[in-house]
Each structure stands twice: as C-alpha cells, then as structure tokens.
Structure 1
Amino acid sequence: MFIEQDFYFWKVTHDLVLNQGCEVLHINTEHKEAWLEYSGKWKNHVIRIKYKQINWRNELKRDLQVTYQQLKQNRQIYRGGNVILHTIYVSEFPPVEEWENVVSEMNEDKKLNVHLYYFSDENKDKERKRFYEALRLDEPVLEQRISHNEMEAMIPYLKQQIVSSHRKKQQEVQSLFQFGKPQMTYILLAVNILLFMFVESQGSTTSVSTLIEFGAKYNPAIMEGEWWRIGSSMFLHIGLLHLLMNMLALYYIGIAVERIYGTWRFSVIYLLAGIFGGVASFMLNPHVAAGASGAIFGLFGALLYFGVRHRQLFFKTMGWNLIFVIALNIAFGIMVPQVDNGAHMGGLIGGFIASAGFNLPKRNDKWLQGIALTGYIVILGTMAFIGSEGLFNDGERMGQVQQTQDLNESGDYTQVVSITSEALADPGRYEAELRFNRSYAYNQLSKPEKAIEDLKKVVELSPDMGEAHYNLALLYQQKGEKNKAIEHARTAADLRPENQDFQELTEDLQ
C-alpha cells in the first residue's frame, strides 16, 4: 500500500537530515520531494529523494534529465568542491524495463557525477545500503514492522521535525550574517574623509612633504623612533581618487565584516590588520606611503577566516567572488609599480591572524586564539626588526630621495641641500638619485660649479640617466663649454630619443 512507501520516504529523509547532518536545500511536503546536501572531504553530495512511481525506462530517463538540468542551472549554490548527484526514487515497484544503466547513457557532463538508486519494496534494503556506502555514512535501522495506523500517525511528526530542523538552520545562517550593526564602518568613513579634507586645506595630499608632515609612513622618521606613523598613515590618502577607491571598498567590505564579527571585533581586526600591513610596508617598501588599503585587505583576511570556519556556507555565498577580487588586486599590484604590495599582503595576512586571535562571535577556541595572537606579535616584531635594519629596502635613503624631490618642486632648495648632504655620508644604493636632487638645488641656488660636480658623479654612477646628461649640457652651455655641452646633449638624446627637449637642445648646440 502507498502508506508504506510514504512512510519510508519520510523516514529516510528524516534520518539524513536529523542524524546524518544533511542540509535541506528544498523540500516539498505536498509532492514528497526533497533536495539535500552533504559535504565530506571536499566533495559536495547533492541528494534528490522523490516518492514517485515510474513505470517505464524512458519516463525515468526524462525525469533524470530534468533533475540533471536543475542541478546544472543552480550549480552556483553548490560551489566549493566536486558535486556528486544522488537521485533516489521511493516506490512500490521498480520500472517495468531495465533501468540500471540509464545514468551512463545520459551523463554527458564530465564535471558532474550522477548516481541512481531505486528504493522499491523488493530491493530497498540493497539499494539503501549502496547509497549509504557511497556517502560513507552509517546505515540506520529503519524499522518497518509497525502497523499502517502507526505509520500514518508518525508521518506528520517526521515532517514537522524535518521542517523545524530546516528552519532552525536557516535562522542560524541568517544570524551569522546579522550579528552586528555597521556602526564603526561609518565612523571610519567619516574620519578618513574629514582628515583628507583637513590635510588638503593645509597643502596638497599628493605632496610628499605634506604627507610626511601629517603622519604618512616615512621610513627615515620611523627608524628615528616615530613608530606612530604606522598607525597614522592608515587614515591619510594620496589624492582624491585614492580616497574614493579605498572608501568605496571600506563601505562594502566593512559593512559585511562588521555584521559578521560585531563592532568591537571588527574594530580590533581593522586596527591590527592596518598595523600589520604598515609594518610589512616599512619592511618591504622604501617609498613614502599612506592609505587604508592594508586595513581593508585585513577585512578580506577576516572574510577568508570566516570561510575556513564555515567552508560550505562561504562558497555558497561570497567564496569564489571574494577569492577573485583578492587575486585581481594582487595581480594589479604586481603590474602597477606604485601599489604598496607590502601593505596589501601584510594587511591580508594580519587580518586573517587577528580574526583567528579574536575568533568569530559565540566561538571560544582559547588554544587556537592564543597561538594566533602569539604568532601575530612574533611576526610583527620580526618584520619591525628587519625593517629597522633595512635588509630589504634601504628605506631611509629612498624616503629622502622622495622628500628632496618634493622639496625641489616646492622651492625649498636649502632644505634639499641639507638633507641630501647628510644622507650622502652613507647613501647606500641611492647616491645617484640624492646627488641629482642636490645638483638641481645647487643650480637654483646659483651654485653651478657644485651642481656640475654632483652631475658628473651621477653620470659616472648611472650613465643611462638621460636627465643628468641633459642638465650637464645646459650647465656647460651656460659656462660656454660648447664641446662638453654637445657631448652630453647627444648622449641624452641617444638615451631618450622620444624626448623632444633633448633633441632640440642637441640641434641648437650643433
């Protein structure tokens, strides 16, 4: 009688959901059909269990094809691993015709594995065992020796438990994404925008000197003890475009992370990620730097940590999109020299470690948190030591090159001479750049002989620097030493044939 198959359908579904940990994707109590998902060892098993009597082979094949297409159309729901489809039919009798090889005939998509099980009365025990073994689950004991009246009385209870479990899990998932309210995100947006407006009112935010004055990451100053710049540089931005891009990212990513982690965890992760990224930049990047990018990448790291703790849910929602955005930003940073990759990667790693250290809400893994926080401190201290020793970037001298170039543009030539003269006592690999900047300052201070002396040393150290040859040609022209002027003008024109000024000077001198 149909009541036996009806009861069996709900009993198997109940076991898979309540005892085996399968997640309900969709359930239709009226048509007696359920779609479930079970994850194990990086494979997603999608289970469609249907109470339906199928009589003919072609009817079975058509129904499987419809099921197969539904899975393909909604495959984005099952991201994060290989998808295996298990289709179970519960009925009194099997199809009249042979049905076992139907799957091999219709399985054209090599990316999907399709398995068919037919729980008819005569072979349901055998097919059930095959199904549970395929998923490596413990096969349950499904007692059938009860009266039809008892079966009929139990079916509503089984339905209610399955539906209640489904609703409870939906509420749990919803709570993961709605733990906190985005308060600190809006505060950070306001702080960054207001500081940008203030700095812009005092001078240009694209000016290196202005940035240094207001707390940008400047390695020479940090090496002299101004470690506070690691934190202050998180709230400065270089130009309007830089601000807009970072604030747009902070708005979208910040709201998502703050909802998941809550305000105080979000704030700590943001700050620690920014500091970690700033120290990584200090270690690897010699240039003057500023911006919230390191902290924002730390929020990416926080979402990745969420993905580690909730892998299945992560890939169903944001997973591959987030990984794509991170990979795109890393690739962009590699291709564009001006991007501070040290801050970006440091922020990403720092945000991940900080998230592990303070964990997700309602989770308490003291052992893991202790290791994460200890690791954060050790790695941060190691990067700070390496940066202070200048093992990777000779940051102090590069920072002085940038600063003196900016000072030349602003007309503070005396300061340029002072800074470069002090730096040239131990110039490292930036002697040519420092002397070039000083030569320009000397020339503007009406000291051409000293400018020539510096430029002669520059072309000796960097013979391919066309600008140095060009400036030497101009200075020799002023002195009336035409042959030397022509020689350096020709060299500059040969090095930079696309530079119209270099070509015109050569023609004029000849």
Structure 2
Amino acid sequence: MQEKLDRKNEIVMKLLHYFITEKEYNPIVLQGAEDEIWLENINSDYKIIRIVSNHIHNKEQLEFDLFKTKSVVKKIKKKLMTFNIPVLSIFTDLEDNKIIEEIKDMDCIYLYDEKDLNKYSFIYKYFPDINQKLKFKEDGTQLFVKITKDINKFNKKNATEAEDLFKPKKPYITYALIIFNILIYLLMILFNRYDEIISVFATWRIGFIAGEYYRIITGVFLHGGVIHLLFNSYALYVVGGQIESFYGKSKFLIIYIGSAIMASLLSMTLGTYASVGSSGAIFGLMGSLLYFGYYYRLYLGTVIKSQILPLIIFNLIFGFITPGIDNAAHIGGLIGGILVSSILGVKNKESKNDRTNGIIITFILVSFLLYMILIQAS
C-alpha cells in the first residue's frame, strides 16, 4: 500500500522541484530558519523566494515573520551587492489568508494547493508555466522519490559545472602575451630602435587622425621602461590568468583586445600626447572580472568587495595624482572590459538582454569617441 504525502509537504516539494529544476534557484542556508526554505536566483525577477510551512495563526505572527524576513534580506543585499531584491513569500499554512497585505519589494501569497495559484494572476507573468509544471503523474512516496531524484540530479549538474568553471587551468594566452611584450621590448633595446618604434607605433591621436589607424592597438604591446614592463607583466599574469580560466582562451583574447581598443579611443579623445603600455587592457580584464563576479557573487562577493574593487579604486586614484600616467586609458579599458564581457557573456549565465545592451552601448560609445577624435582634428 502506497503512503500518501501530507498536503503541506506535497505542495512544498512540488514548489521546490519547480523552482530548483525549472527556474534554477539555489537553496540558501540560514541559521535559525525553521519551517521555511529560502531560494535565490540573482538573474530572476524574484531574486529570493521563501516557502513557509510554519503555521501562521494571526496577523501579529505574520508581521513578526515579515519583520524577520526583511532583516535577513538586508544582510543578503550586502552580500549580493545590490540595492533591490524582490522577494516572493509563499505561505502554505495560514489561519486566515486575508491577513496578507501588500509590502514593498515583497509579494506574499497563500497556497493551500496548486489550484490557489489562480487567485494570484501576477504570478503567471513571472512563471507562466508554473501551473502545468506542478502537475505530476506520481503521488505519495513515488512523488517523493521522483522529486528527490530530480533535485539531486540537478544539484549534481550544477556542482559539476561550478567545479569545471573554477578549476585552475593553464593560462597559455596570458603567458604568450607576457612573452610577446617582453620580446618586443628586448628587440627594441637590442637593435637600438626604441625611440623610432615608439614614435611610429604608440597610441597617438595626431597619428591616428593622419591615417595611422593601427595605433589604436599597437601601443598596447609597447612599454616605456623595464619597471613599466615588469609591473604590467605581473598584473597581466595575476588578472589575466583568472580571466582566461573563467572565460576561456578565445573570449579572453577578445576581451583583452577589445579593452585595449576602448582604452586607446578614450586616451586619444582626452589627450594629444603619445602613450604606451598594456595597463588599459589590464584594467579591462579587471572590469571583466567585476562583470563575472557580479554573476557569481555568491562565490566571489567577498573577494570583489575586499580585493578587486579596492584595487581598481586605488589604481585609479594613483593615476590621477601621479603625473605621466594615462588614466583615460585605464578608465576606457575598464569600461571596455565590462562591455565586451557583457557581449560575450559569462559561462552558464548568458543573458540576451545583457548581450543586446552591451552591443548597443558599445556601438554608441565607440561612435561617440571616434566622432570626438575626428571633430578635434577639424
């Protein structure tokens, strides 16, 4: 004889199955949270979903529950580095469903079973297939086994993807770029052609306007001295290795070149001086790391706040107060790295909206910078 599932446990399990396996929500482990399950998906309209099985018998208890929820959400906001976290609270055991009121940044619904979804038409705007997906052929213990098996399979797939993504890989393109930069510098010195090569290939607005369009990229492979070369090589080794590992070799090279071009464009827009160095492209890699970290901030949120952002801010401030540093190239590279990364997308987190917005913004920005460079020539 097959054992029948409790009504409340059944709806909770169906909801978990839907949100985890169909909408890619991940469980959040919270200390002290009893009879409620928290799920997060930072790419969804509802960033947080709570499934509450605790019996709420009056309005005062509900208000206390929502007060605790708001306190937890505040902490999650800091961790996820966002100002707005829409929350959906799903109650499965309310004494009186009329006590639910509208709350800012939080929608609350009561589900006795899946049929109650029809009372909340706004849910179908965000989850149009939820009603269909909550219907199962199985029931009782068979339903429990199926849901458990599906969730475990999905979690195993996610764990494998995360392990593959964060597993260290040999950054061969990074090594090749470092070696190439060093070889170029050594050849310039050995053949006593340093000044000549700098004058011909450096990033320089006047030369670019005169038709030497190659300057938009060649300057990134030249350096102004041994210290300049060593500093940029070390920075490229540290940051480049991470980006190449996260994005893959092809995307890494596109991000590097794209950031270098954007760095050169802003540098030529704001200055008439010649400049050299890969720091603009390296800032682009840091921008790319920021973009990646935004989508994986559950893994990298602390690192971004404590290491990456302070490093970027420090270097920008240092560039502003130190003469001879092309900070326009740094800012241009940083912006370029973010934009190119949005166009290429982050593995397992690709977004069509981000890609479209990235293409549009990049086109507008590049067109504007080229216009500003050419208008200054006239």
Give the TM bin, normalised by the shorter chain. Answer: 0.5 to 0.7
> 1:151 aligned to 2:154?
no
- 1:281 alignment partner, one of 267, 280, 289: 267
Distance 1:342 1:326 in 2: 14
1:69–1:4 distance in 2 versus 1, CA, 3 Å: same
Give secondary structure in 1 for the equivalent of 2:330: helix
For 1:14-93, list aligned pairs within 5 A.
Answer: 14-19=17-22, 21=23, 23-26=25-28, 33-38=36-41, 44-53=46-55, 67-91=69-93
For the structure 1 residues 127 and 284, does the alpha-carbon distance in structure 2 shift closer, same or farther, using more than 3 Å as the test?
closer
2:13 partner letter: W
* Distance 1:152-1:58 versus aligned 2 partners, 3 A rule: farther
Q: Name the residue aligned to 1:140.
A: 131
Quickly say closer, same or farther: Cα 1:160–1:26, change in 2 above 3 A. Answer: farther
Query: Compared with structure 1, are the counterparts of its residues 144 and 151 closer, same or farther at alpha carbon in structure 2 (3 Å cutoff)?
Result: farther
Residue 479 of structure 1 aligns with which residue?
none
Q: State whether structure 2 residue 296 is matched by structure 1 residue 293.
A: no
Structure 1 contact 33–51 (Cα < 8 Å) conserved: yes
Question: Where does the alignment leave 5 or more consecutive residues of structure 1 unmatched?
Answer: 392-510
Distance 2:73 2:339 in 1: 37
Question: Per the alignment, in what secondary structure is the counterpart of residue 34 of structure 1?
Answer: strand
**Which of 241, 253, 269 matches 1:267?**
253
Shift in CA distance, 129/303, structure 1 to aligned 2, threshold 3 Å: farther
**2: CA distance between counterparts of 1:145 and 1:298?**
49
3-state secondary structure, aligned to 2:224: coil
Give the Cα separation in 1 of the matches to 2:75 and 2:150. Answer: 29
Post-superposition CA distance 1:76-135 (Å, at most 9, x none): 4444451133443434x739xx9937x99xx9xxxx74555554x5x9855884496497
8 Å Cα contact 1:79-1:315 kept in structure 2: no
Structure 1: how far apart are the matches of 2:368 and 2:269? 10
Distance 1:265 1:47, change over 3 A: closer
**Against the structure 1 CA distance between its residues 383 and 211, is the aligned structure 2 distance closer, same or farther, given a 3 Å change threshold?**
farther
1:386 aligns with 2:365: no
Distance 1:76 1:313 in 2: 14
Partner AA of 1:157 in structure 2: K
Gaps of at least 5 residues in structure 2 are none
Determine the C-alpha separation between the residues in 1 that align with 2:210 and 2:43.
Answer: 54
Shift of the alpha carbon at 1:72?
3.4
1:292 CA displacement: 0.6
Equivalents in 1 of 2:212, 2:223: separation in Å?
Answer: 19
Question: How do 1:493-508 residues align onto structure 2 when only pairs under 5 Å count?
Answer: none
Could you tell me whether the CA contact under 8 Å between 1:294 and 1:344 is conserved in 2?
Answer: yes
- Contact 1:48 1:86 (8 Å CA) reproduced: yes
Match of 1:485 in 2: none
Aligned-residue offset at 1:192: 3.8
What are the Cα deviations for residues 244-264 of structure 1, in whole angstroms up to 9, with x where unaligned? 553443233312321233213
Contact 2:11 2:114 in 1 (8 A): no
Out of 148, 157, 164, the residue aligned to residue 153 of structure 2 is 164
Give, in angstroms, the shift of residue 71 of structure 1.
3.6
Aligned CA RMSD, in angstroms, stands at 5.5
Residue equivalent to 1:3: 6
How far 1:271 moved relative to its partner? 3.0
Report how far residue 158 of structure 1 moved: 1.4
| Equivalent pair of 1:278/1:346 in contact (CA under 8 Å) | yes
**Residue equivalent to 1:94:** 95
User: Does the CA contact (< 8 Å) of 1:47 and 1:87 recur in 2?
Assistant: yes
**What is the CA distance between 1:201 and its match in structure 2?**
8.2
> Which residue in the other structure is 1:454 paired with?
none
Secondary structure of the 1:82 match is: coil
So what's the TM-score if we normalise by structure 1? 0.53
Contact in 1 for aligned 2:59/2:99 (Cα 8 Å): no
Report the 3-state secondary structure (helix = DSSP H, G, I; strand = E; otherwise coil) of the residue aligned with 1:49: strand
Does structure 2 conserve the Cα–Cα contact (< 8 Å) formed by 1:179 and 1:261? Answer: no
Greater Cα shift, 242-251 or 192-201: 192-201
Structure 1 residues 131, 46: CA separation in 2 closer, same or farther (over 3 Å shift)? farther
Q: How far off its partner does 1:3 sit?
A: 2.0
Aligned residue pairs, count: 365
Cα drift, residue 140 of structure 1: 1.5
Distance in 1 (alpha carbons) for counterparts of 2:67 and 2:351: 46
Deviations 1:111-169 (A, max 9, x none): x74555554x5x985588449649744462698999xx932321121122233233334
User: After superposition, what is the alpha-carbon deviation per residue over 1:145-198, rounded to whole angstroms, capped at 9, x for unaligned?
Assistant: 99xx93232112112223323333444455555696422213333444566677
Q: Distance in 2 between matches of 1:99 and 1:341?
A: 59
Q: Do the aligned partners of residues 344 and 136 (structure 1) sit closer, same or farther apart at CA in structure 2, a change above 3 Å counting?
A: same
Please give the secondary structure, in 2, of the residue aligned with 1:10.
Answer: helix
The offset of 1:305, in angstroms, is: 6.7
**Letter in structure 1 aligned against 2:131:** P
Q: Which has the larger radius of gyration?
A: 1
The alignment's TM-score, normalised by the length of structure 2, stands at 0.67
Higher relative contact order (CA 8 A, sep 6+): 2
Could you tell me whether the CA contact under 8 Å between 2:14 and 2:134 is conserved in 1? no
SS at match of 2:274: coil
Structure-1 separation of matches of 2:80 and 2:369: 42
Mapped to 2, the partners of 1:27 and 1:219 lie a distance apart of 54
Residue 10 (structure 1) shift: 0.7
8 Å Cα contact 1:16-1:22 kept in structure 2: yes
Residue identity matched to 2:276: A
For the residue of structure 2 that corresponds to 1:297, the secondary structure is helix
- Asked if structure 1 preserves the Cα contact closer than 8 Å seen for 2:51 and 2:90, the reply is yes
Contact 1:77 1:316 in 2 (8 A): no
User: Are the structure 2 counterparts of residues 81 and 160 from structure 1 closer, same or farther at C-alpha, using a change threshold of 3 Å?
Assistant: farther
Matched residue, 2:174? 185
CA contact (8 A) 1:305 1:355 kept: yes
Against the structure 1 CA distance between its residues 375 and 6, is the aligned structure 2 distance closer, same or farther, given a 3 Å change threshold? closer
